Each structure stands twice: as C-alpha cells, then as structure tokens.
C-alpha cells in the first residue's frame, strides 16, 4: 500500500496544482471587468458645467481646439488622435496649487514615458502672461518631455470655453475677459474618442495613484 502511494505521490501533487490553476482561471473569468464611466455633463456638479450643457446626457466630447505649445507649434486634436490623455489648467506664475500639480503631472509623465498611447495637455489660464517663451522656460525648468506633454497658450476665451464646456472642470462662469481667472486642481482623463473618463484632484497623492490605475484600465479596454 505504501509503495502504491509513493508511486502516485507526484501525480497527485501535479493534479492538485493543476486543479488550483483551473479554479483560479475560472474565478478570474467570472469577475466583472473593470470599466470606467463615460462622463456626461448631466453627471457632473452643475457648478462645474456651463449652463447650456446641464441636461446633456450623451454624446459629450472635448471640442476641437488650436493652441500654441512651448515650442510655438500649433497643437490641435489631431496631435491627440488615437491617444489617451490627461488634461489640466495651470499658470506658470502660480505659487499655490500649481507647483504641486506640475510636480504630480511630471510624475505621471515619467511613469508613462515609454507608453506612446498616453499624452498630457496643460492649458495656461493666463495666456497673456504665459507666452510661448515663458512656457518654454517653465517646461525646461520642470523637466517637460516635448513629445509627451504640451503646455499650451493662446486665445483666452477658447481656453476658458474648453474648461467649462469641454472638460467640465471649473466653477468660474467667466467668458475669458481680462479680469476672469479660473483656477482648478482637476486632472481630467480623456479617452481616444475625446470622451471624459475620470476626474482627479491633481494635488492629492491618492488621486494620482488612482489616475495611474485608471489609465491602465482604460488602456486595457482598447485591447479587448
């Protein structure tokens, strides 16, 4: 009897291991896939959304734009075609939340530097101050990688409309006039179809970790 068990001991161990693997695979297959929501204006705090969009429940996308980056190049949606990207709003002379946001955006850049599917887009909310030359100085100081991250300036009204009507990111109702000033800590995750998939506090460590995780989930959804 002892000889019998000794003979089949290895076989039993292999079968036990194989059974464990099969159970694990079945368990994973039965787990619901993680999916990110597609945010519509009606799903967002009304104070962050232009009044013309409060009841929009579908088809919301980031509008087309044309702005200048730190190298003086015109940046449009074409530069972000088939890309997932993270957008935010900042200004180079900000001494409060912007340095923290830029530091965290730099961390995101570095974490995803070798992933060509992910890009970053930072809009200046004081374009009259943040000229191309000023953005270039800031980019060099902060370690911005040009191929990965565009800091953009341009028409103030266009930028403010993007903030309110496209990215649903700020509480200021201004029209981009000389005395308007928007300031938001939001990072916005945008998918390849120009739809908003997440909002994150760009000054919060836990939110940055969640953003990086959500980027992985979003990327994986395109591979299925």
- Going residue by residue through the chain (224 aa), what tens digit of pLDDT does each one get? 555 445 555 554 555 555 544 534 444 444 456 899 999 999 999 988 998 999 999 999 999 999 999 999 999 999 999 999 999 999 999 999 999 999 999 999 999 999 999 999 999 999 999 999 999 999 999 999 999 999 999 999 999 999 999 999 887 655 555 546 677 899 999 999 999 999 999 999 999 999 999 999 999 999 87
How big, in percent rounded to 5, are the helix, strand and coil portions of the chain?
Answer: 40, 15, 40
Nearest to 211 by CA among 194, 198, 193, 196: 198
| Tokens encoding 208 | 């940055």
Nearest to 187 by CA among 196, 195, 177: 196
CA distance linking residue 82 with residue 141, whole number of Å: 29
CA distance linking residue 60 with residue 115, whole number of Å: 27
Given this model, what pLDDT does residue 4 score?
A: 47
Given this model, what pLDDT does residue 10 score?
A: 55
| Tokens encoding 193 | 């179809």
Question: Is 54 annotated to bind ligand?
Answer: no
Question: Is 94 annotated to bind ligand?
Answer: yes
Q: pTM for this structure?
A: 0.83
Given this model, what pLDDT does residue 34 score?
A: 84
Q: Superfamily assignment of 41-221 in CATH? A: Glutaredoxin (3.40.30.10)
Given this model, what pLDDT does residue 170 score?
A: 83
User: What does the CA dihedral 64, 65, 66, 69 come to, rounded to 10 degrees?
Assistant: -120
214 within 8 A of 208, measured Cβ to Cβ: no
Given this model, what pLDDT does residue 176 score?
A: 53
Given this model, what pLDDT does residue 173 score?
A: 53
Given this model, what pLDDT does residue 113 score?
A: 97
Given this model, what pLDDT does residue 177 score?
A: 54
| Tokens encoding 19 | 């059974």
Given this model, what pLDDT does residue 23 score?
A: 37
Given this model, what pLDDT does residue 69 score?
A: 98
Given this model, what pLDDT does residue 171 score?
A: 75
Question: Is 60 annotated to bind ligand?
Answer: no
Given this model, what pLDDT does residue 82 score?
A: 97
CA distance linking residue 25 with residue 113, whole number of Å: 32
């Amino acid at each position: 009897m002892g000889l019998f068990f000794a003979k089949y001991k290895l076989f039993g161990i292999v079968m036990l291991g194989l059974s464990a693997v099969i159970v694990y695979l079945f368990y994973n297959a039965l787990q619901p896939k993680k999916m990110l929501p597609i945010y519509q204006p009606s799903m967002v705090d009304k104070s962050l959304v232009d009044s013309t969009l409060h009841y929009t429940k579908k088809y919301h996308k980031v509008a087309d734009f044309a702005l200048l980056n730190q190298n003086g190049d015109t940046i449009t949606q074409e530069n972000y075609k088939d890309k997932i990207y993270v957008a935010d709003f900042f200004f180079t002379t900000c001494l409060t939340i912007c340095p923290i946001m830029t530091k965290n955006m730099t961390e995101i850049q570095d974490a995803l530097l070798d992933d060509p599917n992910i890009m970053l887009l930072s809009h200046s909310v004081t374009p009259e101050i943040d000229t191309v030359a000023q953005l270039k100085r800031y980019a060099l100081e902060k370690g911005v990688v040009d191929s990965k991250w565009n800091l953009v300036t341009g028409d103030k009204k266009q930028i403010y409309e993007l903030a309110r009507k496209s990215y649903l990111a700020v509480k200021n109702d201004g029209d981009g006039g000389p005395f308007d000033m928007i300031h938001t800590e939001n990072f916005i995750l945008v998918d390849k179809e120009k739809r908003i998939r997440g909002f994150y506090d760009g000054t919060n460590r836990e939110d940055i970790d969640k953003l990086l995780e959500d980027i992985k989930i979003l990327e994986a959804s395109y591979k299925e």
